[in-house]
């Protein structure tokens, strides 16, 4: 099959074709020609005013809920949601049933990625059943295709276990992904501890729960001489701690979500369960500081923390509703509406996660396998439920004005 992209602006920062307007011819899954004008009979031609093309986006933290929770999401619907959002690579977290803590479940995900446009990358659990009590079979999972290791939505509280895991993955230059929050502090908290939670009468989750965990995990990474990715960070103090660790030469990186750049605790004017987030939305000052850190490059990448929930798990009392939201389809539009330029978005959504986790760089040049997203960065629209390909619809971005729309992905 041949695909011809006409008059596309190439956004591939740091590489030869960056910011060039050109035609791209893709034959048998490879970029065969890049030129000012290509006139051939192609099976498909993609042409649109303002068309941009970039290396496909990478989502590093997604709950696909499969196996075990297919009423919320499946690998097929998660892949469709990722493709709709411009993602060509999707990291599948281990919070499944059974938990992805051995090579059998890793191979289940790995063997089902054929046939999807999106590459599925299983993330193996650090501990058995993601319970934080006993190390899982990380070496076997690595050999079976695990791209990284994490207990997913469950932070690893035991410093002893985490330091052993960091030492273990160091042998093969692996990465531990950690949600940085000490949940022994205010375990029943429902919102950021502050004026908004007090006004609504909600138990608070204080900032110190994240700050302590970030500081501790940096210290453990220093001791082990290994690699840690903290995701998501929600506080300006967390970014400062990670900045200092990087200046020290430690291999610590971090992500932030589009929703933590968009919403803050003041948006909880009503008990909207779609705004119940884990970790919670912080103050307006924190949100603005996070956006500045994203713009300046102090935060490495963007991760949606795609968390699908069935309607019955969201349309209930705020106290009992599950925390988290889906985010694959709305990520590009949210970042564009926040004022991020295409080159910065590509650095955050594609280049940085590929570099951190050792994926192919996706460079746009002749002879390379196609791993592309085609999009219109200036397209403005209101996000609606019918734009969601996920099996679940729990998004606080529904009804929000976004900027930047994906046309399609082209991969292999």
pLDDT digits (tens, 9 = 90+) for 68-90: 999 999 999 999 999 999 999 99
Please, which pLDDT band fits residue 117 given cuts at 50, 70 and 90?
confident
Rounded CA separation 58/84 (Å): 13
Q: Tell me whether residue 330 is in a domain.
A: yes
Cα(122)–Cα(355) distance, integer angstroms: 17
Q: What is the pLDDT of residue 33?
A: 97
98 upstream amide cis, omega within 30 of 0: yes
Residue 112 has a pLDDT of 82
Percent of the chain clearing pLDDT 70 (strictly above): 100
Is residue 334 classed as helix, strand or coil in its secondary structure? helix
Q: Average per-residue pLDDT in the chain? A: 96
Q: Any idea what the CATH number is for the domain that residue 83 is in?
A: 3.20.20.140
Say if residue 114's pLDDT is above 80. no
The arithmetic mean of pLDDT across residues 114-126, rounded, is 91
Structure tokens at 54: 């970039």
pLDDT for 116 equals: 82
- Please, what's the b/e burial string for 298-319 (b: 16 or more CB within 10 A of its CB; e: otherwise)? bbbbbbbbbbbbbeebbeeebe
Q: Report whether pLDDT(412) > 90.
A: no
- Residue 115 pLDDT more than 80? no
Task: Identify whether 4 is part of a domain.
Answer: no
- Domain assignment present for residue 51? The answer is no
What pTM did the predictor assign? 0.96
Omega prior to 247 cis, within 30 of 0:
no
In the prediction, which pLDDT does 142 show? 97
pLDDT score, position 145: 95
Q: What is the pLDDT of residues 145-154, one digit of tens each?
A: 999 999 999 9
Q: Considering the domain boundaries, does residue 315 fall inside one? A: yes
Query: For residue 2, is it within any domain?
Result: no
pLDDT of residue 67: 95
Question: What pLDDT is attached to residue 270?
Answer: 85
Residue 347 DSSP code: I
Contact 145, 122 (CB under 8 A): yes
pLDDT > 80? residue 294:
yes
Alpha carbon 303 to chain centroid, angstroms: 2
- Per the structure, how many domains does the chain have? 1
> Residue 363 above 90 pLDDT?
yes
pLDDT tens, residue by residue, 249-268: 999 999 999 999 999 999 99
Is residue 170 in a domain?
A: yes
The band of 269, judged by pLDDT with boundaries at 50, 70 and 90, is confident
Whether residue 373 lies inside any domain: the answer is no
Domain encompassing residue 274: 56-358+382-403
Average pLDDT estimate for 346-367: 97
For 32-45, what is each residue's pLDDT tens digit? 999 999 999 999 99
Domain annotation covers residue 217: yes
């Amino acid at each position: 099959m041949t695909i011809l992209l006409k008059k596309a602006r190439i956004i591939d920062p740091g590489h030869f074709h960056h910011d060039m307007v050109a035609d791209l011819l893709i034959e048998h899954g490879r970029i065969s020609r890049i030129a000012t004008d290509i006139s051939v009979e192609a099976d498909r031609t993609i042409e649109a005013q303002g068309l941009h093309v970039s290396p496909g986006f990478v989502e590093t933290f997604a709950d696909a809920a499969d196996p075990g929770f297919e009423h919320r999401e499946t690998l097929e619907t998660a892949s469709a949601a990722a493709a709709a959002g411009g993602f060509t690579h999707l990291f599948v977290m281990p919070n499944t049933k059974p938990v992805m803590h051995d090579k059998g479940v890793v191979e289940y995900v790995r063997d089902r990625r054929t046939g999807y446009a999106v590459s599925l990358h299983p993330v193996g659990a650090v501990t058995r059943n993601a319970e934080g009590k006993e190390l899982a079979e990380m070496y076997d999972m690595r050999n079976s295709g695990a791209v990284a290791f994490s207990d997913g939505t469950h932070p690893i509280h035991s410093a002893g276990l985490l330091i052993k895991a960091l030492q273990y993955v160091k042998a093969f230059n692996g990465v531990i992904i950690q949600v940085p929050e000490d949940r022994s502090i205010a375990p029943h908290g429902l919102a950021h501890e502050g004026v908004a939670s007090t006004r609504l009468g909600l138990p608070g989750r204080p900032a110190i729960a994240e700050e302590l965990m970030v500081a501790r995990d940096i210290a453990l990474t220093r001791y082990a001489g290994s690699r840690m990715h903290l995701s998501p960070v929600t506080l300006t103090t967390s970014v400062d701690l990670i900045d200092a660790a990087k200046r020290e030469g430690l291999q610590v990186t971090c992500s932030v979500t589009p929703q933590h750049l968009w919403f803050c605790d003041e948006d909880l004017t009503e008990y909207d369960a779609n705004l119940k987030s884990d970790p919670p939305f912080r103050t307006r000052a924190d949100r603005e500081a996070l956006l500045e850190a994203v713009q300046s490059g102090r935060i490495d990448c963007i991760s949606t923390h795609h968390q699908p929930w069935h309607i019955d798990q969201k349309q209930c009392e705020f106290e009992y509703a599950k925390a988290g939201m889906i985010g694959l389809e709305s990520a590009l539009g949210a970042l564009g509406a926040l004022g991020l330029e295409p080159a910065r978005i590509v650095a955050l959504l594609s280049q940085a996660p590929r570099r951190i986790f050792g994926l192919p760089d996706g460079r746009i040049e002749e002879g390379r396998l196609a791993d592309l997203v085609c999009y219109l960065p200036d397209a403005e629209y209101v996000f609606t439920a019918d734009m969601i390909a996920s099996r679940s619809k729990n998004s606080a971005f529904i009804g929000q004005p976004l900027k930047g729309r994906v046309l399609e992905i082209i991969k292999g």
